[in-house]
Amino acid sequence: MNTMDSQTLEDTGILVPQLDKIFRAQSVAIVGASPKPGARNRIVKVLIKHGFEGRIYPVSPSADEVEGHKAYKTLADLPEVPDVALIITPAATVPGLIEECGEKGVTCAIVYSAGFEEIESGKDIARQLKEAARKHNVNVLGPNGQGVWSIKSKTMLTFGAAAFGLENLRHSPIAIVSQSGALAGAIGNYLQRNGLGCSYIVSVGNETCMDALDALSWVIEQDDVRVVALYLEGLDDAARLLPLAARARERGVQIVTLKAGRSAFGQEATASHTGKIASPYGIYKDVLDQAGIIMVESLGEAMAAVEVLSFMPDPRVSGDPMGGISVMSSSGGAGALLADHSDERGLPMATFSDAAAAKLEDILPEFARKANPVDLTGQIRSFPNLFRDTLAVLNEDPRTEAIVVQFASSGLRDLLDNGDDFKNAAKESGLPIVITFAQEKIDLAIKEDFMAAGILISDDPANTMRALKWLYDRKRFKTIEIAKRDTTQSELTPPETWGEMMDFLETASVTPANWRVIGPDESAAEACKDLTYPLVVKVLPDAAEHKTELGLVKLKVQTPEDVDAHAAEFRKILNKPDMGVLVQEMVSDSVEVVLSCLGNTDFGPVLSIGSGGVAIELYRDVTYLALPVTPAQVEAALKKLKLWHLLEGFRGAPKADIDALIKAAVGFGDTILRTPTLAEAEVNPVMVRPEGKGLVAVDFLGTTRD
């Protein structure tokens, strides 16, 4: 954040801008307001339409009145210092107007005007705007945005068509922070028209002075926020997002992120829109999960996620390995789909306790399936209270962590007939209950009625399990351990020679394979006498790229004579008669892993772990973690990979030394942080040996920053 009007949260280092005067303004100046139709007029109309209870001061050199409110020639002419100035004038005038804000004592401003960073000729104006804001201690949101919505205080500071078209506004614990103004308005329109409502919407525009994370830091501190949807195109300092996510969890707020720029075209589009190229999407996806942020793939998913997370409780903690989701269905097919979707998303299905199983045997007719998922069949109408009695058994089973009720062809009728039973069950148990239909559309009023009781109405088994996955993720995120960076150790310089590289790896707890470098005048018989055959003979990393493709790597070399012959061949191929040749002990009983670090990402240094050797390029089986990391975070990341099956022992192979790999990954990350001038580093492969035997590193590549 570039202004000084902020407070620091103790023990977090998080700067929270003082934005109460924007979101709870008692007086507003609209600089550039006009009585003529258009955005300059609409911004006044929106305030009036939605019942703003404060004082409105249009500022216009040419108008005497705007929408019934007296207009003033300049900010200096106002009868009081307004809480916020809304500026909608040509870009070139904005830096001077921010100076006027400072002279008047205005500490907050929203700039809607375009013509700044998004065009070449506006970049200097943007610089002047930033300097004026810093000099006069004005918190400036924008420019080139659509402002903010603050529902509870009736402070709608926007000219957007969505806000103007809405007649009534519903308040709910959903907030939106968006790097796209148009999408912010569209999301607000959807939330209001579909009965969900919201509390705050922030369009951050070009982020010249304050960015999306500044807005997020304020939003998560509000008591009327339970979930925040964050639309991102890219972040200049995304590492700030991790402590913000931790603070949000501390306050019981879940962040949901929709990130644009998955494709090459998407990255180009966001660059032209925001003036920045985003880090690869895969890094965002993995690091946000590490931070406890739910990442979604579409606007539809984002809206579904904020709905679920705004009112649904977490799954119950059963503490039983056989605990999970309990399903009762009037359709065997739909119940099977629910089980499939549960498995696809890694969600646990409950195995009923003996007591629950016995009760189901007593109350269910012979034709019903009594195991999970319970199939009540289409005969439910012949057996009164079947839904109620089955639900009671599932509710009481301590292994039940969440309940799904699946309807089929007569879903709406069954819902209404049993609605009170479902609502009572939700109230008594506190469990998440999802009632699922087979693509049957339910009236908004009915959905709202059940939402008030804490019950989600879903139109599809797939969407039901998606919703429960979000709830299970939110529960999982509460156990995240935050890694602490060790700032007591001295900085390291990047290694240059092969020997320095191996010492660097030793420092990082990544044990290098035993090695020697043989010069042209040395014999392998003497130089390699302390090494155990078979050996690997290859050129040093700086001698050639793609060594394998050039035939510059020889495996399973059994004799000193063969070592000498291969070394001579390599010198001849590269025409480097004085070149040293690397010889290493060969490790065969191992799983190949790659450890690498990317220094220049939106999140700063990021650790990547994946399948090693050529598999890293072939399968792209890789995951990312922002540094520093904890052992638990490394283990969780490894479990996402296909590599995990190899590490656990695939098809009778011995289990690999996973503990050694985790220790090496943590140590490698910590050592990278101690080497700030190292831009990229890669250890490929790391040979992870059977459990208890550790690992060895075979190769290292590193590049320094310019």
pLDDT in tens, 467-507: 999 999 999 999 998 888 888 889 999 999 999 999 999 99
pLDDT at 595: 94
Q: At which residue do the structure tokens 């599809």 appear?
A: 460
The CATH fold assigned to 6-310 is Rossmann fold (3.40.50)
| pLDDT tens, position by position, 26-70 | 999 999 999 999 999 999 999 999 999 999 999 999 999 999 999
Q: Where are the domains of the chain?
A: 6-310, 314-477, 514-585, 591-704
CATH of domain 314-477: 3.40.50.261
pLDDT at 272: 42
Q: At which residue do the structure tokens 């023990």 appear?
A: 11
Question: How far is it, in rounded angstroms, from Cα 690 to Cα 650?
Answer: 12
| pLDDT tens, position by position, 287-321 | 999 999 999 999 999 999 999 999 999 999 999 99
Looking at residue 545, the DSSP 8-state letter turns out to be S
Task: Tell me the CATH number of domain 514-585, given options 3.40.50.300, 1.10.760.10, 3.90.79.10, 3.30.1490.20.
Answer: 3.30.1490.20
Pairing type for strands 84-87 and 108-111 reads parallel
| pLDDT tens, position by position, 599-623 | 888 899 999 999 986 666 667 889 9
Looking at residue 683, the DSSP 8-state letter turns out to be E
pLDDT at 384: 67
| pLDDT tens, position by position, 241-273 | 999 999 999 999 999 999 987 655 444 444 444
Confidence label for 417 from pLDDT (cuts 50, 70 and 90): confident
Instruction: State the maximum Cα–Cα separation within the chain, in Å, rounded to a whole number.
Output: 98
| pLDDT tens, position by position, 552-578 | 999 999 999 999 999 999 999 999 999
Alpha helix ranges (H) inside 16-143: 20-23, 39-49, 94-104, 123-136
* Percentage of residues of the chain with pLDDT beyond 90: 78
pLDDT at 58: 98
| pLDDT tens, position by position, 508-529 | 999 999 999 999 999 999 999 9
Query: Does residue 173 have a cis bond before it (omega within 30 degrees)?
Result: no
Q: What average pLDDT is seen over the chain?
A: 91
pLDDT at 412: 82
Domain 591-704 belongs in CATH node 3.30.470.20: yes
Question: How far is it, in rounded angstroms, from Cα 139 to Cα 133?
Answer: 7
Burial readout 399-413 (b: 16 or more C-beta within 10 A, e: otherwise): bbbbbbbbbbeebee
Question: How far is it, in rounded angstroms, from Cα 7 to Cα 253?
Answer: 20
Question: How far is it, in rounded angstroms, from Cα 586 to Cα 555?
Answer: 8
Report, as an integer, the average pLDDT of 326-353. Answer: 91
Q: Which of 17-21, 243-247, 379-383, 670-674 has the lowest mean pLDDT?
A: 379-383
Question: Is 314-477 the same fold as 6-310?
Answer: yes
Report, as an integer, the average pLDDT of 224-245. Answer: 94
Q: What are phi and psi of 461, to 5 degrees?
A: -55, -35
Alpha helix ranges (H) inside 411-554: 411-429, 444-452, 461-477, 498-507, 524-527
Q: What are phi and psi of 456, to 5 degrees?
A: -90, 135
Q: Give the DSSP H/E element, type plus range, for residue 141.
A: strand 139-141
Exposure on the CB side of residue 308, measured as CA atoms within 13 A:
29
| pLDDT over 70 (residue 274) | no
